[in-house]
Chain A
Amino acid sequence: MRALRSMIAGVLMGGLAIASPAVGPALAAGDAPTPPAQNWSFDRIFGTFDLAAAQRGFQVYSEVCSACHSMRLLSYRDLAGIGLTNDQIKAIAAAVTVPQGLDDQGAPKEGPGTPASRFKRPFPNDVAARAGNNGALPPDLSLLSNAFLNGPDYIHGVLTGYADPPAGFTLMDGMNYNKYFIGHQIAMPKPLSDGQVTYADGTTASVEQMSRDVVTFLTWAANPEMVERKQMGVRVILFLLLMTCVTYAVKRKIWADVH
């Protein structure tokens, strides 16, 4: 009994110790308020990506974000993961021009992209990206959703958090006020406005809707293995649960003559 009690206390202490770093960065985020928590299709143990939303999000990325932001870790073939067909992917890839090594004379060659091509980057390098954006570097979006505590809520908060600065707040030149961005001053001008894209499925393209769609797309892009991972996890845990019961029963039987 005493051992059991110490064990439970130990587990609780361990839990506290584990919880501590998760709380840390939340406070470390500085003076910006925590963006409100949203419901996402990919939340929780059985959550999967809403593929229609992810596809709409890809459209928003292609038509809006990709003007400045790269997604260098993704290839066009990866888009099969949000339900695009091979023909659609080939068409999307063929629409961009990518470097294709050297020709017979040793001169650099260009040609249409293939599904194996990486997403076309808007700027050839970071210096060019800064030069084209008033000195600010638009971050690569491949992993952005994982790069903040509660990343999806944070990105949604920033995309929908543009407002007029409160009285007495001095904005630096060329900066924009944002309710949730760390420090409240963001170089990116308000990227989304109502009706900016036309969705093929007839969904109304409000700022809120476009933001939610693009966050779904970005979260998929940062964790393309998530659905497979969770499905495997359910099977693994069920198997281990069964194994625990079996080994515990065997243990009871073997130990029966000792107690």
Chain B
Amino acid sequence: MAGMHKSEIANPVLNWIDSRLPVITMMQKEYGVFPTPKNFNYFWNFGALAMVNLVIMILTGIFLAMNYQPNTELAFDSVQRIMRDVNYGWLIRYVHQNGASMFFIVTYIHIFRGLYYGSYKTPRELLWMLGVVIFLLMMATAFLGYVLPWGQMSYWGATVITNLFSAFPWIGPKIVTLLWGGFSVDNPTLNRFFSLHYLLPFVIVGVVFLHIAALHIVGSNNPLGIDVKGPQDTLPFHPYYTVKDSVGMCVYLMVFAAFVFFAPNYLGDPVNFIPANPLQTPAHIVPEWYFLPFYAILRSVPDKLLGVCLMFGSILLLFILPWLDTSPVRSARFRPIYRILIWVLVACVVVLGFCGARPPEGIWVILSRICTLYYFAHFLVILPILGKLERPLPLPESISQSVMGGGGGGPMPSGAHAKPMEKA
């Protein structure tokens, strides 16, 4: 088996490298000629955008870490020193700060894309589960990072969230002490949070690599949700999708820039401009906007342990989604009832976001309970049953036929029932 790779690169230097370590051949195979369904819409930009966002976060984060002091006495002022005295420090910090929000916007759209077009269904279950792992790591990283500026909301957010673990019987208090490195949120907490905040992004990079590797084995899903039948259904990734992703990236960067340059603190909580004070609790402790739906689920039940279980459960649920959804049809386009219910789910999550920002009283509690109930019912009850009851619309024969014929429904009624999924 040993022996050099037969490289087809003309340039002798590159050929020498490629024969010994075929990275150029690999890049050409995976990103050059890689056969990609020809019917992607712009929702398929968001995976690439998330990748770009991850790189932006790591680069800005490295430069911030050069000037940040993970010490309770110095942290707040060291961030302000970055803002005021470091060359373009304000730019690096505002990009990093708003980059976290952009990362969640992009990721939430990416997840929605997966839900709407059934990208989690066979053979992409593992690909989807790796995505859920990335999402969990992102949430942990964002939470840890929000603590670092050591403002009032950093401190009290850290106190509230770490205290959630105390709800677990027996081991709970021990976990909390371990997270804190002591008996309250203090300097050891800040030290370990900084260390982990620097570590986790690289773990994300690793899982992203697996996510993409799995994607390149099973191939991309597409808006029709039907399998690729042959070369007539695909296009080489480059230049078709490199250029289409570039268009999306320019628009994404414009939204990003609008936040960074014109409303850098719009998505943040003003209370975090006050240094952390363990003796003074803010009137309302609210997490960053991207955690609000989960925060609302947590507070929707009066029992702490149940609330914590529901909150974690709402995400862990996504791991078994491929088996909860019993419909063989992937794309919501051909599922008349699911197509409505997916928007009900989105509406529930948005309402939960509003509820999470309000004090848990009156109408907000009732709304969070209704929406929490629907959230879980959607995945645990509706999806398993709906797959059996729903009559899907006729599927088009193939991607190329649908593209040529125009219109989403497809001209050929022959595929009235979904065929068993074959491996692409």
Chain A residues at the B interface, C-beta cutoff of 8 Å = 1-3, 6-7, 9-10, 13-14, 16-18, 20-25, 27-30, 45, 73, 78, 139, 142-144, 146-149, 151, 182, 222, 224-225, 229-230, 232-234, 236-237, 240-241, 243-244, 247-248, 250-251, 254-255, 258-259
Q: Which listed segment binds A: B6-14, B60-68, B249-257, B319-327?
A: B249-257
Looking at the complex, which one of A7, A13, A148 makes contact with B270 (CB distance below 8 Å)? A148
A-B contact pairs, 10 of them (CB 8 A): A3-B408, A7-B41, A14-B105, A28-B284, A73-B80, A225-B83, A233-B257, A236-B257, A240-B250, A241-B254
Query: Among residues 350 to 374 in chain B, which have CB atoms less than 8 Å away from a CB atom of chain A?
Result: 350, 353-354, 356-359
Total number of A-B contacts with CB less than 8 angstroms? 145
Contact of A45 among B116, B262, B356 (CB under 8 A): B262
Tell me which residues across on chain B come within 8 A of A29, comparing CB atoms. Answer: 283
Q: How far is the CA of A212 from the CA of B251 in the complex (A)?
A: 38
Would you call B358 and A146 a contact (CB within 8 A)? no
Given contacts A28-B283, A73-B80, A251-B243, are A146 and B270 in contact (CB under 8 A)?
A: yes
**A24 near B270 (CB under 8 angstroms)?**
no
Q: Are A17 and B350 in contact (CB under 8 A)?
A: yes
**Chain B nearest CB: distance from A63 CB in Å?**
25
Partner of B408, one of A2, A240, A250: A2
In the complex formed, the residue of B with least CB distance to A259 is B403
Rounded to whole angstroms, the CA-CA distance of A149 and B269 in the bound complex is: 8
A184 to B261: give the CA distance in the assembly, Å. 35
The answer to whether B261 touches A233, judged by C-beta atoms less than 8 angstroms apart, is yes
7 smallest CB-CB distances across A and B, nearest first, come from A233-B261, A24-B357, A244-B250, A147-B273, A21-B289, A28-B284, A225-B90
Name which residue of chain A comes closest to B101, CB basis.
Answer: A18
- Asked whether B417 is an interface residue with its Cβ less than 8 Å from the other chain, the reply is no
B250 engages A243 (CB within 8 Å): yes
Residues of chain B contacted by A182 (CB below 8 angstroms): 283
A119–chain B nearest beta-carbon distance, Å:
13
B374 to chain A, nearest CB (A): 16
Docked complex Cα distance between A8 and B104 (Å): 18
A234 to B235, CA, bound (A): 37
Q: Which residue of A lies closest to B89 (CB)?
A: A225
B26, CB-defined interface residue at 8 Å: no
Which of A13, A234, A247 lies in contact with B347, CB distance below 8 A?
A13
Contact with A along B391-416 (1 / 0, CB 8 A): 00000000000010000100000000
Question: Given the known A-B contacts A28-B359, A73-B80, are A21 and B346 also in contact in the complex, defined by CB atoms under 8 Å?
Answer: no
B250–A13 touching, CB < 8 Å? no
- Cβ contact within 8 Å between B273 and A73: no
Residues of B in contact (CB 8 Å), total: 62
Is the C-beta of B312 less than 8 angstroms from some C-beta in chain A?
Answer: no
Judged by a CB distance under 8 angstroms, whether B378 is at the interface is no
Distance A229 CA – B261 CA, assembled complex (angstroms): 6
CB distance from A237 to the nearest CB of B (A): 6
Asked if A232 meets B105 with Cβ closer than 8 Å, knowing A13-B347, A73-B80, the reply is no
At the interface, yes or no: B202 with Cβ under 8 Å from chain A? Answer: no
Within 8 A of A (CB), among B105-126: 105, 108-109, 112, 116
- CB pair B262–A230 under 8 Å, yes or no, is yes
A191→B210 CA distance, assembly (Å): 62
B243/A7 in contact, CB under 8 A: no
Q: How far is the CB of B81 from chain A (nearest CB, A)?
A: 8
Asked whether B261 lies within 8 Å of A236 as measured between CB atoms, the reply is yes
Mostly, the B contact residues are: helix
**Distance of A142 Cα from B275 Cα, bound (Å):** 11
Residues in A with CB closer than 8 Å to B216 are none
CB-based contact A30/B408 at 8 Å: no
Question: Are A23 and B357 touching (Cβ within 8 A)?
Answer: yes
Judge whether B201 is part of the interface by a CB distance below 8 angstroms. Answer: no
Q: How far is the CB of A238 from the nearest CB of chain B, in Å? A: 10
Known: A21-B288, A28-B358. 7 other contacts (CB 8 A): A14-B105, A20-B289, A20-B356, A24-B358, A182-B283, A225-B83, A259-B403
Contact B289 A244 (CB under 8 A): no
Say yes or no: B42 contacts A7, CB within 8 Å: yes
A259, B406: Cα distance in complex, Å: 10
Q: Are A14 and B109 in contact (CB under 8 A)?
A: yes
- Give complex CA distance A148, B91 in Å: 22
User: Do A258 and B109 touch across chains, with their CB atoms under 8 A apart?
Assistant: no
Chain B residues near A17 (CB, 8 Å)?
108, 289, 349-350, 353
State how many angstroms separate the Cβ of A32 from the closest Cβ of chain B.
Answer: 11
Interface contact B261-A250, CB-CB below 8 Å: no
Q: Is B84 an interface residue (CB 8 A)?
A: yes
The residues in B between 282 and 297 inclusive whose CB is less than 8 angstroms from any CB of A are 283-284, 286, 288-289, 292
B-chain residues with CB within 8 Å of residue A2 when the two chains form the complex? 333, 408
Residues of A within 8 A of B80 (CB): 73, 142-143
The smallest beta-carbon distance between B367 and chain A, in angstroms, is 12
Tell me the minimal C-beta distance from B253 to chain A in angstroms: 5
Does B131 reach chain A (CB closer than 8 Å)? no
Q: Which chain B residue shows the least CB distance to A73? A: B80
- A245 to nearest B CB, angstroms? 9
In whole angstroms, how far apart are the Cα atoms of A122 and B247 in the complex?
55
Contact with B84, one of A7, A73, A232 (Cβ below 8 angstroms):
A73
- Cβ-defined contact, A24 with B273, below 8 A: no
Q: Are B257 and A237 in contact (CB under 8 A)?
A: yes
Q: Which residues of chain B from 230 to 259 have a CB within 8 Å of any chain A CB?
A: 235, 239-240, 243-244, 246-247, 250-251, 253-254, 257-258
Q: Please state if A247 and B359 are interface contacts (CB–CB under 8 Å).
A: no
Measured in the bound complex, the distance between the Cα atoms of B277 and A140 in whole Å is 13
A20 to B269 alpha-carbon distance, docked (Å): 12
Question: A9 touches which one: B258, B269, B343 (CB < 8 A)?
Answer: B343
Q: Determine the residue in chain A with the shortest Cβ distance to B41.
A: A3
* Residue B160 at the chain A interface, CB threshold 8 Å: no
Contact call B41/A251, Cβ cutoff below 8 A = no
Asked whether, in the complex, the Cβ of B84 is within 8 Å of the Cβ of A78, the reply is: yes
